[in-house]
Chains A and B, each alone.
Chain A
Amino acid sequence: MQIKPYKPRDWKSHPPYLYEGYKSSVKRAPLKRLVPMKQTLSEITGPLFGHDAVQPGDDDLTRNAGTGGEAMGERLIVVGRVLDENERPVPNTLVEIWQANSAGRYHHEVDQHNAPLDPNFTGAGRCLTNEKGEYRFLTIKPGAYPWLNHPNAWRPAHIHLSLFGPSFVTRLVTQFFFPGDPLIPLDPILNSIPSKSARQRLIASYVHDVTEPEWALGYRFDIVLRGREATPFEEPGR
Protein backbone atom coordinates (compact mmCIF):
# COMPACT_ATOMS: atom_id res chain seq x y z
CA MET A 1 0.00 0.00 0.00
CA GLN A 2 1.28 3.45 -0.94
CA ILE A 3 1.37 5.87 1.97
CA LYS A 4 1.56 9.60 1.30
CA PRO A 5 2.83 10.83 4.64
CA TYR A 6 2.38 14.22 6.24
CA LYS A 7 5.30 16.53 6.92
CA PRO A 8 6.76 16.24 10.42
CA ARG A 9 5.68 18.40 13.31
CA ASP A 10 7.68 21.61 13.07
CA TRP A 11 9.31 21.87 16.49
CA LYS A 12 10.51 25.42 15.74
CA SER A 13 6.86 26.45 15.60
CA HIS A 14 5.47 24.31 18.42
CA PRO A 15 6.35 24.71 22.10
CA PRO A 16 8.37 22.02 23.83
CA TYR A 17 6.47 19.83 26.30
CA LEU A 18 8.48 21.26 29.17
CA TYR A 19 8.54 25.03 29.60
CA GLU A 20 9.37 25.98 33.17
CA GLY A 21 7.75 29.41 32.90
CA TYR A 22 4.45 27.54 32.57
CA LYS A 23 4.39 25.76 35.93
CA SER A 24 1.73 23.19 35.08
CA SER A 25 4.00 21.76 32.38
CA VAL A 26 6.68 20.71 34.88
CA LYS A 27 4.98 17.51 36.10
CA ARG A 28 2.97 16.87 32.95
CA ALA A 29 5.56 17.11 30.21
CA PRO A 30 6.75 13.80 28.78
CA LEU A 31 10.51 13.83 29.47
CA LYS A 32 11.80 10.81 27.60
CA ARG A 33 12.73 11.20 23.97
CA LEU A 34 9.78 10.71 21.63
CA VAL A 35 10.03 7.50 19.63
CA PRO A 36 10.21 8.33 15.91
CA MET A 37 7.59 6.54 13.84
CA LYS A 38 7.18 6.24 10.08
CA GLN A 39 3.55 7.07 9.31
CA THR A 40 1.29 4.15 8.44
CA LEU A 41 -2.34 3.85 7.41
CA SER A 42 -3.22 4.50 11.07
CA GLU A 43 -1.64 7.96 11.00
CA ILE A 44 -2.71 9.20 7.55
CA THR A 45 -6.38 8.45 8.23
CA GLY A 46 -8.46 10.22 10.86
CA PRO A 47 -11.97 11.11 11.92
CA LEU A 48 -14.16 12.96 9.44
CA PHE A 49 -17.14 14.90 10.71
CA GLY A 50 -20.25 15.49 8.67
CA HIS A 51 -22.84 18.22 8.85
CA ASP A 52 -24.60 16.30 11.62
CA ALA A 53 -21.72 17.35 13.92
CA VAL A 54 -22.92 20.95 13.79
CA GLN A 55 -26.35 22.41 14.58
CA PRO A 56 -27.64 25.71 13.17
CA GLY A 57 -26.56 28.54 15.47
CA ASP A 58 -23.56 26.68 16.91
CA ASP A 59 -21.34 29.35 15.31
CA ASP A 60 -23.13 32.25 17.06
CA LEU A 61 -21.78 32.48 20.60
CA THR A 62 -23.74 35.67 21.25
CA ARG A 63 -27.00 33.67 21.17
CA ASN A 64 -26.23 29.96 21.44
CA ALA A 65 -26.67 29.79 25.22
CA GLY A 66 -30.30 29.07 24.38
CA THR A 67 -31.76 31.60 26.80
CA GLY A 68 -33.25 33.83 24.13
CA GLY A 69 -31.01 36.66 25.39
CA GLU A 70 -27.85 38.09 23.90
CA ALA A 71 -24.37 37.91 25.43
CA MET A 72 -22.87 41.09 26.91
CA GLY A 73 -19.70 42.48 25.37
CA GLU A 74 -18.03 43.88 22.31
CA ARG A 75 -19.39 41.92 19.34
CA LEU A 76 -16.77 40.25 17.14
CA ILE A 77 -16.87 38.52 13.80
CA VAL A 78 -13.98 36.06 13.65
CA VAL A 79 -13.14 34.71 10.22
CA GLY A 80 -10.23 32.70 8.90
CA ARG A 81 -9.00 30.12 6.47
CA VAL A 82 -7.69 26.72 7.37
CA LEU A 83 -4.86 25.81 4.99
CA ASP A 84 -2.15 23.18 4.96
CA GLU A 85 1.59 23.78 4.60
CA ASN A 86 1.23 23.45 0.84
CA GLU A 87 -1.30 26.32 0.87
CA ARG A 88 -4.19 24.01 0.05
CA PRO A 89 -7.49 24.76 1.79
CA VAL A 90 -8.71 22.23 4.35
CA PRO A 91 -12.45 21.92 3.63
CA ASN A 92 -15.18 20.37 5.80
CA THR A 93 -13.10 20.16 8.92
CA LEU A 94 -14.53 20.66 12.39
CA VAL A 95 -13.48 23.85 14.23
CA GLU A 96 -14.39 23.99 17.92
CA ILE A 97 -13.82 27.14 19.99
CA TRP A 98 -14.18 28.12 23.63
CA GLN A 99 -13.46 31.32 25.54
CA ALA A 100 -14.06 33.46 28.63
CA ASN A 101 -16.91 35.97 28.75
CA SER A 102 -16.40 39.71 28.36
CA ALA A 103 -15.56 40.02 32.06
CA GLY A 104 -12.83 37.39 31.84
CA ARG A 105 -14.70 34.48 33.40
CA TYR A 106 -15.39 31.03 31.98
CA HIS A 107 -18.74 29.35 32.34
CA HIS A 108 -17.00 26.52 34.19
CA GLU A 109 -17.18 25.32 37.81
CA VAL A 110 -13.38 25.39 38.20
CA ASP A 111 -13.23 29.11 37.35
CA GLN A 112 -13.63 31.00 40.64
CA HIS A 113 -12.41 34.38 39.37
CA ASN A 114 -14.40 37.12 41.08
CA ALA A 115 -15.97 38.50 37.91
CA PRO A 116 -19.59 38.23 36.82
CA LEU A 117 -20.97 35.30 34.86
CA ASP A 118 -23.18 36.12 31.92
CA PRO A 119 -26.27 33.88 31.81
CA ASN A 120 -26.52 34.48 28.06
CA PHE A 121 -22.99 33.31 27.30
CA THR A 122 -21.62 29.78 27.59
CA GLY A 123 -18.51 30.54 25.54
CA ALA A 124 -18.44 27.51 23.24
CA GLY A 125 -19.07 27.20 19.51
CA ARG A 126 -18.35 24.96 16.55
CA CYS A 127 -18.55 25.02 12.78
CA LEU A 128 -17.25 23.21 9.72
CA THR A 129 -14.96 24.91 7.22
CA ASN A 130 -16.48 25.41 3.78
CA GLU A 131 -15.05 24.18 0.47
CA LYS A 132 -12.46 26.99 0.52
CA GLY A 133 -11.38 26.11 4.06
CA GLU A 134 -13.09 29.19 5.50
CA TYR A 135 -14.73 29.44 8.91
CA ARG A 136 -16.68 32.21 10.63
CA PHE A 137 -17.92 32.78 14.18
CA LEU A 138 -19.94 35.55 15.77
CA THR A 139 -18.91 36.09 19.39
CA ILE A 140 -17.93 38.72 21.94
CA LYS A 141 -14.45 39.83 22.90
CA PRO A 142 -13.21 37.75 25.84
CA GLY A 143 -11.78 39.56 28.87
CA ALA A 144 -8.32 39.07 30.33
CA TYR A 145 -8.24 37.07 33.56
CA PRO A 146 -5.86 36.34 36.44
CA TRP A 147 -4.32 32.93 37.05
CA LEU A 148 -2.04 31.44 39.67
CA ASN A 149 1.06 30.66 37.60
CA HIS A 150 3.15 33.43 39.20
CA PRO A 151 2.47 36.60 41.24
CA ASN A 152 0.04 38.97 39.50
CA ALA A 153 -0.25 36.67 36.48
CA TRP A 154 -2.88 37.55 33.88
CA ARG A 155 -3.74 35.79 30.65
CA PRO A 156 -4.15 38.12 27.68
CA ALA A 157 -7.58 37.93 26.04
CA HIS A 158 -7.66 34.82 23.85
CA ILE A 159 -9.96 32.33 22.13
CA HIS A 160 -9.14 28.60 22.13
CA LEU A 161 -9.51 26.57 18.94
CA SER A 162 -9.45 22.84 18.21
CA LEU A 163 -9.10 21.45 14.68
CA PHE A 164 -8.79 18.00 13.12
CA GLY A 165 -7.70 18.32 9.49
CA PRO A 166 -7.74 15.29 7.21
CA SER A 167 -5.71 12.82 9.29
CA PHE A 168 -4.79 11.63 12.78
CA VAL A 169 -1.53 13.61 12.66
CA THR A 170 -3.00 16.94 11.53
CA ARG A 171 -4.76 17.51 14.87
CA LEU A 172 -4.19 20.94 16.39
CA VAL A 173 -5.31 22.71 19.55
CA THR A 174 -4.23 26.31 19.83
CA GLN A 175 -5.44 29.77 20.86
CA PHE A 176 -5.29 33.19 19.31
CA PHE A 177 -4.74 36.64 20.78
CA PHE A 178 -5.72 40.20 19.90
CA PRO A 179 -3.30 42.76 18.43
CA GLY A 180 -1.98 45.43 20.77
CA ASP A 181 -2.78 43.60 24.00
CA PRO A 182 -0.16 44.74 26.57
CA LEU A 183 -0.36 41.34 28.34
CA ILE A 184 0.91 39.43 25.31
CA PRO A 185 4.67 39.80 26.01
CA LEU A 186 4.09 38.69 29.62
CA ASP A 187 2.26 35.46 28.83
CA PRO A 188 4.30 32.31 29.55
CA ILE A 189 1.92 30.12 27.55
CA LEU A 190 2.49 32.15 24.39
CA ASN A 191 6.18 32.61 25.25
CA SER A 192 6.63 28.83 25.39
CA ILE A 193 6.74 28.97 21.58
CA PRO A 194 10.44 29.14 20.69
CA SER A 195 10.44 31.56 17.78
CA LYS A 196 9.18 35.12 17.75
CA SER A 197 7.76 34.79 14.25
CA ALA A 198 5.80 31.70 15.32
CA ARG A 199 4.41 33.56 18.35
CA GLN A 200 3.38 36.38 16.04
CA ARG A 201 1.31 33.90 14.03
CA LEU A 202 -1.03 33.43 17.00
CA ILE A 203 -2.08 37.07 16.96
CA ALA A 204 -5.20 37.74 14.92
CA SER A 205 -5.46 40.79 12.62
CA TYR A 206 -8.10 43.45 12.81
CA VAL A 207 -9.76 43.57 9.37
CA HIS A 208 -11.91 46.55 8.64
CA ASP A 209 -13.50 44.85 5.62
CA VAL A 210 -14.85 42.16 7.91
CA THR A 211 -16.21 44.73 10.37
CA GLU A 212 -19.93 45.29 9.84
CA PRO A 213 -21.18 48.87 10.24
CA GLU A 214 -23.28 49.55 13.33
CA TRP A 215 -22.86 45.92 14.34
CA ALA A 216 -19.55 44.12 15.03
CA LEU A 217 -15.74 44.34 14.68
CA GLY A 218 -13.96 41.93 12.33
CA TYR A 219 -10.84 39.88 13.06
CA ARG A 220 -9.03 37.35 10.94
CA PHE A 221 -7.11 34.33 12.21
CA ASP A 222 -5.76 31.95 9.57
CA ILE A 223 -4.57 28.49 10.55
CA VAL A 224 -1.98 26.25 8.92
CA LEU A 225 -2.10 22.50 9.54
CA ARG A 226 0.48 19.89 8.56
CA GLY A 227 0.52 19.23 4.82
CA ARG A 228 1.48 16.17 2.81
CA GLU A 229 5.00 15.42 1.72
CA ALA A 230 5.51 15.81 -2.03
CA THR A 231 6.41 12.17 -2.57
CA PRO A 232 4.89 8.99 -1.19
CA PHE A 233 6.96 6.41 0.65
CA GLU A 234 8.14 3.98 -1.98
CA GLU A 235 7.85 0.37 -1.06
CA PRO A 236 11.19 -1.40 -1.53
CA GLY A 237 11.43 -3.90 -4.37
CA ARG A 238 8.89 -2.21 -6.62
Chain B
Amino acid sequence: MKQTPSQTVGPFFSLGLTRKTTKVLASDSTQGEKIRVEGQLFDGDGQPVPDAMIEIWQANAYGRYNHQDDKQEKPLDPAFMGWGRSGTDKTGLYWFETVKPGPVPGPDESVQAPHINVTVFARGMLVHAFTRIYFGDETVNETDPILSSIKNRARRKTLIANREDKNGKAVYRFDIRLQGENETVFFDM
Protein backbone atom coordinates (compact mmCIF):
# COMPACT_ATOMS: atom_id res chain seq x y z
CA MET B 1 0.00 0.00 0.00
CA LYS B 2 1.16 3.52 -0.71
CA GLN B 3 1.65 6.21 1.91
CA THR B 4 -1.08 8.80 2.30
CA PRO B 5 0.32 12.12 1.08
CA SER B 6 1.21 14.86 3.55
CA GLN B 7 -0.48 18.27 3.43
CA THR B 8 0.21 21.49 5.29
CA VAL B 9 -1.29 22.13 8.73
CA GLY B 10 -2.57 25.42 7.25
CA PRO B 11 -3.27 28.62 9.19
CA PHE B 12 -5.95 27.30 11.55
CA PHE B 13 -4.33 24.19 13.05
CA SER B 14 -4.36 25.64 16.55
CA LEU B 15 -8.08 24.81 16.66
CA GLY B 16 -7.37 21.13 16.46
CA LEU B 17 -3.83 20.83 17.73
CA THR B 18 -2.69 23.44 20.22
CA ARG B 19 -5.72 24.49 22.22
CA LYS B 20 -4.41 22.13 24.88
CA THR B 21 -0.64 22.20 24.60
CA THR B 22 1.96 20.06 26.30
CA LYS B 23 4.80 22.48 26.82
CA VAL B 24 5.56 21.26 30.32
CA LEU B 25 6.92 17.72 30.14
CA ALA B 26 8.50 17.54 33.59
CA SER B 27 6.78 17.70 36.97
CA ASP B 28 8.32 18.02 40.44
CA SER B 29 8.64 14.25 40.64
CA THR B 30 10.38 13.80 37.26
CA GLN B 31 13.93 12.46 37.57
CA GLY B 32 16.80 14.47 36.12
CA GLU B 33 18.02 17.99 35.55
CA LYS B 34 15.17 20.38 34.84
CA ILE B 35 15.81 22.48 31.77
CA ARG B 36 13.97 24.91 29.58
CA VAL B 37 14.36 24.66 25.82
CA GLU B 38 13.29 27.67 23.80
CA GLY B 39 13.88 29.30 20.48
CA GLN B 40 12.39 31.13 17.56
CA LEU B 41 11.44 29.86 14.15
CA PHE B 42 12.48 32.04 11.19
CA ASP B 43 11.58 32.02 7.50
CA GLY B 44 13.81 32.75 4.50
CA ASP B 45 13.55 36.51 5.05
CA GLY B 46 14.60 36.13 8.67
CA GLN B 47 11.05 36.92 9.76
CA PRO B 48 9.58 35.04 12.71
CA VAL B 49 7.03 32.34 11.84
CA PRO B 50 4.05 32.89 14.15
CA ASP B 51 1.84 30.08 12.84
CA ALA B 52 3.99 27.03 13.41
CA MET B 53 3.99 24.07 15.75
CA ILE B 54 6.99 22.29 17.22
CA GLU B 55 6.75 18.77 18.63
CA ILE B 56 9.49 17.06 20.62
CA TRP B 57 10.20 13.46 21.56
CA GLN B 58 12.98 12.50 23.93
CA ALA B 59 14.40 9.86 26.24
CA ASN B 60 14.19 10.29 30.00
CA ALA B 61 17.13 11.32 32.18
CA TYR B 62 18.45 7.73 32.16
CA GLY B 63 18.39 7.54 28.37
CA ARG B 64 15.31 5.35 27.99
CA TYR B 65 12.32 6.01 25.75
CA ASN B 66 8.82 5.38 27.08
CA HIS B 67 7.97 2.97 24.26
CA GLN B 68 7.73 -0.80 23.87
CA ASP B 69 10.48 -0.96 21.25
CA ASP B 70 13.03 0.41 23.73
CA LYS B 71 14.14 -2.80 25.43
CA GLN B 72 17.10 -1.34 27.34
CA GLU B 73 17.45 -2.26 31.00
CA LYS B 74 17.38 1.36 32.10
CA PRO B 75 14.62 2.65 34.38
CA LEU B 76 11.42 4.14 33.06
CA ASP B 77 10.24 7.26 34.85
CA PRO B 78 6.50 7.11 35.57
CA ALA B 79 6.53 10.92 35.82
CA PHE B 80 7.87 11.42 32.31
CA MET B 81 6.32 10.56 28.96
CA GLY B 82 8.84 12.41 26.79
CA TRP B 83 6.53 14.11 24.30
CA GLY B 84 5.65 17.77 23.97
CA ARG B 85 3.92 20.17 21.59
CA SER B 86 4.17 23.95 21.45
CA GLY B 87 2.76 26.48 19.04
CA THR B 88 4.85 29.52 18.15
CA ASP B 89 3.78 32.98 19.27
CA LYS B 90 3.84 36.31 17.39
CA THR B 91 7.62 36.41 17.70
CA GLY B 92 8.01 32.84 16.42
CA LEU B 93 8.88 31.67 19.94
CA TYR B 94 8.23 28.17 21.24
CA TRP B 95 9.31 26.71 24.58
CA PHE B 96 9.31 23.53 26.65
CA GLU B 97 10.00 22.77 30.30
CA THR B 98 11.57 19.33 30.39
CA VAL B 99 14.55 17.36 31.68
CA LYS B 100 17.84 16.78 29.98
CA PRO B 101 17.70 13.36 28.28
CA GLY B 102 20.34 10.72 28.90
CA PRO B 103 22.45 9.17 26.10
CA VAL B 104 20.83 6.47 23.98
CA PRO B 105 22.32 3.74 21.79
CA GLY B 106 23.20 4.51 18.17
CA PRO B 107 24.11 2.39 15.17
CA ASP B 108 26.93 -0.18 15.32
CA GLU B 109 27.32 -0.22 19.12
CA SER B 110 27.86 3.52 19.25
CA VAL B 111 26.34 5.84 21.82
CA GLN B 112 24.41 8.91 20.78
CA ALA B 113 24.95 12.16 22.64
CA PRO B 114 21.90 13.39 24.55
CA HIS B 115 19.46 14.91 22.10
CA ILE B 116 15.82 15.84 21.58
CA ASN B 117 14.00 14.80 18.41
CA VAL B 118 12.07 17.65 16.80
CA THR B 119 9.27 17.89 14.23
CA VAL B 120 8.43 21.26 12.65
CA PHE B 121 5.01 22.04 11.17
CA ALA B 122 3.80 25.38 9.80
CA ARG B 123 1.45 27.05 7.43
CA GLY B 124 3.42 27.00 4.18
CA MET B 125 5.14 23.70 4.97
CA LEU B 126 3.57 20.99 2.83
CA VAL B 127 5.52 18.32 4.68
CA HIS B 128 6.79 18.44 8.26
CA ALA B 129 10.54 18.64 8.81
CA PHE B 130 12.63 16.53 11.20
CA THR B 131 15.58 17.89 13.12
CA ARG B 132 17.40 17.35 16.45
CA ILE B 133 18.51 19.45 19.38
CA TYR B 134 21.92 18.70 20.87
CA PHE B 135 23.30 20.37 24.00
CA GLY B 136 26.25 22.75 23.71
CA ASP B 137 27.82 21.67 27.01
CA GLU B 138 28.10 17.97 26.07
CA THR B 139 31.63 16.98 25.02
CA VAL B 140 30.24 13.69 23.65
CA ASN B 141 28.74 15.68 20.76
CA GLU B 142 32.18 15.24 19.15
CA THR B 143 31.62 11.50 18.79
CA ASP B 144 27.90 11.47 18.12
CA PRO B 145 27.25 9.27 15.07
CA ILE B 146 24.46 11.43 13.65
CA LEU B 147 26.22 14.78 14.09
CA SER B 148 29.38 13.25 12.63
CA SER B 149 27.45 12.05 9.60
CA ILE B 150 26.77 15.66 8.57
CA LYS B 151 29.55 16.20 6.08
CA ASN B 152 29.50 19.99 6.16
CA ARG B 153 30.97 20.66 9.60
CA ALA B 154 29.72 24.23 9.69
CA ARG B 155 26.15 23.02 9.43
CA ARG B 156 26.49 20.79 12.50
CA LYS B 157 26.38 23.84 14.73
CA THR B 158 22.80 24.54 13.59
CA LEU B 159 21.81 21.57 15.79
CA ILE B 160 23.59 22.77 18.94
CA ALA B 161 21.58 24.55 21.63
CA ASN B 162 23.76 26.73 23.81
CA ARG B 163 23.20 26.94 27.52
CA GLU B 164 22.48 30.11 29.45
CA ASP B 165 21.61 30.16 33.13
CA LYS B 166 18.65 32.40 33.87
CA ASN B 167 17.53 32.81 37.50
CA GLY B 168 19.37 29.62 38.43
CA LYS B 169 17.68 27.62 35.69
CA ALA B 170 19.33 26.05 32.66
CA VAL B 171 17.92 27.45 29.45
CA TYR B 172 18.98 26.00 26.12
CA ARG B 173 18.41 28.23 23.13
CA PHE B 174 17.55 26.52 19.85
CA ASP B 175 16.50 28.73 16.96
CA ILE B 176 15.27 27.05 13.79
CA ARG B 177 15.92 28.61 10.38
CA LEU B 178 13.87 27.21 7.53
CA GLN B 179 16.08 28.79 4.86
CA GLY B 180 19.15 30.94 4.41
CA GLU B 181 22.84 30.73 5.03
CA ASN B 182 22.34 29.14 8.44
CA GLU B 183 19.43 26.89 7.45
CA THR B 184 18.93 24.30 10.17
CA VAL B 185 19.89 20.75 9.24
CA PHE B 186 16.76 18.72 8.49
CA PHE B 187 16.92 14.97 8.16
CA ASP B 188 15.48 12.41 5.80
CA MET B 189 15.04 9.13 7.63
Q: For residue A19, which residue of chain B has the nearest CB? A: B126
Chain B, residues 126-163, CB within 8 Å of chain A (1/0): the string is 11111010000000000001100110000100000000
Question: Do the beta carbons of A124 and B16 come within 8 Å of each other?
Answer: yes
Question: Do the beta carbons of A31 and B183 come within 8 Å of each other?
Answer: yes
Q: Which of A81-123 contact B (CB under 8 A)?
A: 83-87, 96-98, 100, 106-108, 110-111, 122-123
Q: Does B43 contact A (CB under 8 A)?
A: yes
Contact of A96 among B12, B16, B126 (CB under 8 A): B16
| Chain B residues within 8 Å of A189, by CB | 7-8, 126
Q: Which of B104-133 contact A (CB under 8 A)?
A: 104-109, 112, 115, 117, 119, 121-130, 132
Question: Do the beta carbons of B69 and A44 come within 8 Å of each other?
Answer: yes
Q: Does B14 contact A (CB under 8 A)?
A: yes
- A235 and B105 CA atoms in complex are apart in Å by 13
- A171 and B130 CA atoms in complex are apart in Å by 10
| Chain B residues within 8 Å of A230, by CB | none
Question: Do the beta carbons of A169 and B16 come within 8 Å of each other?
Answer: no
Indicate whether A28 sits within 8 Å of B49 (C-beta atoms), given known contacts A22-B124, A40-B107, A160-B16. yes
Q: Which of A214-228 contact B (CB under 8 A)?
A: 223-227
B: contact size bracket: 35 or more
- A103 and B17 CA atoms in complex are apart in Å by 22
Q: Which of A30, A190, A202 has the most chain B CB within a 10 Å cutoff?
A: A30
Question: Do the beta carbons of A25 and B2 come within 8 Å of each other?
Answer: no
| Chain A residues within 8 Å of B124, by CB | 22, 24-29
Nearest-Cβ distance from residue A199 to partner chain B, whole angstroms: 7
Which residues of A pack against B, CB within 8 Å? 1, 3-4, 8-10, 13-17, 19, 22, 24-32, 34-48, 83-87, 96-98, 100, 106-108, 110-111, 122-126, 160, 162, 167-169, 171-175, 189-190, 192-193, 197-199, 201-202, 223-227, 233, 235-236
Q: A14-B6, A123-B15, A160-B13 are in contact. List 5 more A-B contacts (CB 8 A).
A: A27-B124, A43-B189, A47-B57, A124-B16, A171-B128
